Amino acid sequence: MEPPCSFHPCDEAVIATNDDATDCKRCAVRLGYWKDEYIGYFVRNQDRKAPEINRGYFARVKGVEMCVEKFLKKTNGDCQIINLGCGFDTLYFRLRDTSHQVKNFIELDFPTVTARKCYTIKRNKALLAKIHDEDGEVRLSPTDMHGPSYHLMGVDLRNLDELDNKLQQAEVNYSLPTIFLAECVLVYIEMQNCKNLLKWISNKFTNAVFVNYEQVNMNDRFGEVMLNNLRSRGCSLASVEACVSLDTQVNRFLECGWTGSRAWDMVQVYQSLPEAERQRIERIEMLDEGELLLQLFQHYCLVVAWIGELFQDIEITCVNV
């Protein structure tokens, strides 16, 4: 057995990034960038964010949704979703309002985060009703929640024995097509631990896709400013060496046994969104000038890696053709 991972000094700062991201998503939703009827249950903050931040989160959310949509169409719902470092993400609840259904939806994060998410779900009927049906019960502990096809669990992703145990509790099927989602998660995990995690997944799952939203081009001046800002908040980007370029992002997966991988910066992802949708959100708020947004988009990326052949033909940059 692996010894349990000790709590790292920067873990608290990493946990706090969930609150920041949820605040930003809430602001953008309130302004009409996209619809999310559930984010307001997890955060009440009404602070107004800069237009560049709102537009950046729009591209982030829609980019990940685009990949999930392609995966669900390929599998016809005969699949499972595993959300790593899920925070207060509401994808499960939003999917329940669509025609898309999946066999199993698993969310994992630090226990302090999942405890808060469990508490919020438990005290809001609109959320709880999405998790249990007439035949299913919901089992609760302070940090974990288990419904018929939804599992929210506290775990340290650096401890693979603990992760394996939690996934078994969630009745994971290692042979079922699986999509892993991670938004600014891997970058906070030390390089060796991150490699161990990606190798473990590639060995365990026979047919899987990994969608990773993360920083890129971090070795230039703008990237250095981003790094210093995070460090000033006590946040260390432990795997920043994988964020040097799109190539290093891709190679991180290839070196860990994944069949293939592709990466796009957020300039490309944003341009791939339907033109009418881009025009709609660009009317919500005016930018003083577009240089800051362009720099932000150039320093974040969407990476898709796969095991098996299910996702080998993915192409993001032509989705609006």
- 156 annotated among ligand-binding-site residues: yes
CB-count burial class (<10 Å; 0-12, 13-18, 19+) for 200: middle
- 154 annotated among ligand-binding-site residues: no
- 63 annotated among ligand-binding-site residues: no
- 116 annotated among ligand-binding-site residues: no
CB 64 within 8 A of CB 34: no
First to last CA, the chain: 51
* Tens of pLDDT, residue by residue, the chain (321 residues): 344 444 565 678 788 889 889 999 999 999 999 999 999 999 987 788 999 999 999 999 999 999 999 999 999 989 999 999 999 999 999 999 998 889 999 999 999 999 999 999 999 999 999 998 656 688 999 999 999 999 999 999 999 999 999 999 999 999 999 999 999 999 999 999 999 999 999 999 999 999 999 999 999 999 899 988 888 888 878 899 999 999 999 999 999 999 999 999 999 999 999 999 999 999 999 988 889 999 999 999 999 999 998 777 877 765 432
Q: Give the whole-angstrom CA distance, residue 220 versus residue 244.
A: 9
* Confidence (pTM): 0.94
- 296 annotated among ligand-binding-site residues: no
Indicate the residue type of 287. Answer: L
CATH superfamily membership of 9-307 = Vaccinia Virus protein VP39 (3.40.50.150)
Residue 115, Cβ neighbours under 10 Å: how many? 17
